[in-house]
């Protein structure tokens, strides 16, 4: 099996596993906005982008952030597993995680804010 195909297979497998864990176990009791106090990631996301939860569906935000977090963790894990540079693995992983979190959360926050301004999400 070629290296890119193996990386893609690993990514899909890890992503699916992490997404199932997020959706079934971590977010199991957080499907309502009233239980937001249990989820600091979503609470900070809503506060940072000043989302009006009367216009934005909480479940959409929860599922979207679960997908993003699964993607970030799966991508970084596959990258670390396939890097051959032993000393630089962890600094590279740190930079990748920080840049993915910042960029993907920024894009998602702007998307939800734009949809909120246009109509109810």
Q: What is the mean pLDDT of the chain?
A: 86
pLDDT at 78: 94
Q: Which domain holds residue 10?
A: 3-118
Q: How many residues does the chain have?
A: 121
Query: Is residue 51 classed exposed, middle or buried when 0-12, 13-18 and 19+ CB atoms within 10 A define those classes?
Result: buried
Q: Pick the most confident of 6-15, 32-41, 57-66, 111-120.
A: 6-15
Confidence label for 29 from pLDDT (cuts 50, 70 and 90):
low
- Total domain count, the chain: 1
């Amino acid at each position: 099996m070629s290296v890119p195909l193996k990386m893609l297979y690993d990514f899909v497998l890890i992503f699916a596993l992490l997404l199932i864990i997020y959706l079934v176990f971590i977010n199991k009791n957080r499907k309502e906005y009233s239980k937001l106090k249990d989820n600091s990631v979503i609470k900070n996301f809503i506060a940072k982008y000043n989302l009006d939860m009367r216009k934005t569906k909480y479940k959409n935000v929860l599922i979207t952030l679960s997908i993003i977090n699964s993607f970030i963790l799966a991508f970084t894990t596959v990258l670390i597993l396939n890097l051959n540079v032993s000393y630089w693995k962890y600094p590279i992983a740190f930079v990748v995680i920080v840049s993915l979190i910042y960029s993907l959360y920024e894009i998602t926050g702007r998307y939800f804010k734009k949809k909120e301004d246009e109509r109810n999400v």
